[in-house]
Amino acid sequence: MIILYAIGERLERSVGAIRMFVVYMVSLLGGSLCSYEMMLLTGDYAVSAGASGAVYGIIGGFLWLLLLHRGHLEGISARRLVFSILLMVYFGFSSSGIDNWAHIGGLVSGFLMTAILYHRKCQKY
């Protein structure tokens, strides 16, 4: 929830409340579908609940903004965010009972949805 607040607030300021909501919901759906697909492929059926895939989607969306803004935005660098993402994914895979595919699906969905919805205004010099 701290990550949702910290990164989500920055994403909302950049893209607006409605686009932020769309990114969140698409990431929630993308994470759930990725998790479901992996359950079908592996045969490892488990109950999965929560909004962590959507939170990863918010992180993925902010990563898109960082890349679009040459690696720095609102005091956060792309290098730091990528390092944090790698740590979160590593700890997810090294722990039991974590729906890693929901996290990865949410991250990718949020990244792609933000890429579709957000276009930086061109500056004329």
Give the C-alpha distances (Å, rounded to integers) separating 94 from 38, 39, 68, 91, 108.
18, 18, 31, 5, 20
Query: Which member of 27, 32, 35, 52 is catalytic?
Result: 52
Query: Which member of 95, 103, 109, 119 is catalytic?
Result: 103
Three-state secondary structure of 24-78:
HHHHHHHHHHHHHHHHHHHCCCCCCCCCHHHHHHHHHHHHHHHHHCCCEECCEEH
Whether 52 is catalytic is: yes
Residues with catalytic roles:
52, 103
